[in-house]
Structure 1
Amino acid sequence: MKRIWGYLSIITATLFFGISATFNKIMLQEIEPLAIAALTYTLAGIFLFSIRQSPLKEKVLNILNKKNNSENYINRRDYLILIITAISSSVIAPILYLNGLQQTTAVNASLLINIEVLFIISMSLILFKEVLKKKDILGMSLLVIGAVYLATQGEIADILFKESFIGSLLIIAASFFWSVDTVLSKYLSNKRDLIWIAGLKSSIGGLILLLAALFLGMSLKPPWNMIPFLLFVSIFSIGSAFILIYFAIREIGATRVGAIFPLSSLFGAVFAFIILGEPLTLMELSFGLLMLIGVFILYWNPKKSSS
Structure 2
Amino acid sequence: MRRLWGYISIITATIFFGISATLDKIMLSSMHPVTIGAYTYIIAGIFLFLIRETPLREHVLNAINRKGESEARIKRNDYLILLLTALLSTVIAPLLFLTGLGDTTAVNASLILNVEVLFIILLGYLIFRETLQLKDFLGIVLIILGAVYLLTEGDFSTILRNVAVTGNFLVMAAAFFWSLDTVLSKFLSRKRDLIFISGVKSSVGGFVLLIIMLILGINTELPLEMLPYALGVSVFSIGCSFILIYIAIREIGASMVGALFPLSSLFGAIFAFIILREPFSIMQGISGIVMLTGVFILYWNGK
Query: Which category describes the TM-score, using the shorter chain as reference length?
Result: over 0.9
Aligned to 1:100: 100
Question: What is the alpha-carbon distance in structure 2 between the residues aligned to residue 251 and residue 89 of structure 1?
Answer: 26
Question: What is the alpha-carbon distance in structure 2 between the residues aligned to residue 112 and residue 31 of structure 1?
Answer: 23
Change (3 A) 1:157 1:291: same
Aligned to 1:236: 236
Superposition deviation, residue 4 in structure 1: 4.1
Aligned to 1:212: 212
Aligned to 2:198: 198
Aligned to 1:258: 258
Superposition deviation, residue 61 in structure 1: 2.9
Aligned to 1:54: 54
Task: Give the aligned residue type for 1:17.
Answer: F
Aligned to 2:284: 284
Aligned to 1:187: 187
Q: What SS does the corresponding residue of 1:221 show, helix, strand or coil?
A: coil
**Does residue 83 in structure 1 map to residue 104 in structure 2?**
no
Whether contact under 8 Å (2:86, 2:204) holds in the other structure is: yes
**CA offsets 1:181-236 (integer angstroms, 9 cap, x no match):** 22223332332222211111101111111100111111222111100000110111
Whether contact under 8 Å (1:159, 1:165) holds in the other structure is: yes
Aligned to 1:296: 296
Identity of aligned residues (%): 60
- Runs of 5+ consecutive residues of structure 2 not aligned to the other structure: none
Which range is displaced more, 17-26 or 245-254?
245-254
Question: What is the alpha-carbon distance in structure 2 between the residues aligned to residue 183 and residue 119 of structure 1?
Answer: 9
Aligned to 1:227: 227
Change (3 A) 1:228 1:242: same
Matches within 5 A, 1:263-278: 263-278=263-278
**CA offsets 1:63-108 (integer angstroms, 9 cap, x no match):** 4346674322111232222112111111111000000000000000
TM-score, normalising length: structure 1: 0.92
Aligned to 2:178: 178
Matches within 5 A, 1:14-25: 14-25=14-25
Whether contact under 8 Å (1:21, 1:110) holds in the other structure is: yes
Matches within 5 A, 1:154-173: 154-173=154-173
Q: What SS does the corresponding residue of 1:71 show, helix, strand or coil?
A: coil
Superposition deviation, residue 3 in structure 1: 4.2
Question: What is the alpha-carbon distance in structure 2 between the residues aligned to residue 236 and residue 17 of structure 1?
Answer: 7
Which range is displaced more, 203-212 or 291-300?
291-300
**CA offsets 1:248-305 (integer angstroms, 9 cap, x no match):** 4455444333222211100000010111111111110011000011111222349x9x
Whether contact under 8 Å (2:64, 2:246) holds in the other structure is: no
Task: Give the aligned residue type for 2:198.
Answer: A
Which range is displaced more, 193-202 or 2-11?
2-11
Matches within 5 A, 1:118-157: 118-157=118-157
Task: Give the aligned residue type for 2:292.
Answer: L
**CA offsets 1:100-149 (integer angstroms, 9 cap, x no match):** 00000000000000000110110111122233333222211111111110
Q: What SS does the corresponding residue of 1:279 show, helix, strand or coil?
A: coil
**CA offsets 1:140-190 (integer angstroms, 9 cap, x no match):** 111111111011111110211110010000000000011112222333233
Task: Give the aligned residue type for 2:95.
Answer: I
Aligned to 2:40: 40
